[in-house]
Amino acid sequence: MMGKLSFETAVSTIDSLSDIYLFIDEPLHLVSQTVVFNLDKVYIPPNLYKIAHELNTDRNVLYEPEIFPALSLYHFKPIHINVFTSGKVVVLGKDALQSAHHIKNWLHCLLCIV
């Protein structure tokens, strides 16, 4: 499930999926694959153009603000990271929850260097 769902809508959707899975003879297995956090030590908005330019030799970086307003990092494949100028970070993919602390530290070091 993706998007801005209310908690009630999410629960209702999960209940509907549970009902469907009763007929499939497979257990319903839910996994969170998205983590959202703020870069709390960032006092000024990160300069995403500069970061993208500094990491330009790395093919795991994409920043096209006309298409999507975030710096997309694919450094931790299969995890995908979006960094917004507000300092908000969205980490998507398998094992995102387990890697979130390491990714947050890596981003803080990256922003200090750039």
- The predicted structure's pLDDT at residue 66: 92
Contact 68, 28 (CB under 8 A): no
Q: State the burial class of residue 106 (Cβ atoms within 10 Å of its Cβ: 0-12, 13-18, 19+).
A: middle
Q: Name the CATH code of domain 32-113 (choices 2.60.40.3080, 3.40.430.10, 3.30.310.10, 3.20.20.70).
A: 3.30.310.10
Q: Residue 29: its pLDDT value, please?
A: 67
Q: What is the DSSP string of 47-79?
A: -HHHHHHHTTTSTTEE--TTT-SEEEE-TTTT-
Q: What's the number of CA atoms in the CB half-sphere (13 Å) around residue 27?
A: 3
Neighbours of 81 (CB within 10 A): 24
44's tokens: 């000024």
Handedness of CA 39, 42, 47, 52 (dihedral sign): negative
Domain segments of the chain as ranges? 1-30, 32-113
Each residue's pLDDT, cut to its tens digit, for the chain (114 residues) gives: 555 566 677 778 777 777 777 777 767 666 666 777 676 655 567 788 888 888 776 678 889 999 999 999 888 878 888 888 887 888 887 777 778 888 888 887 877 655
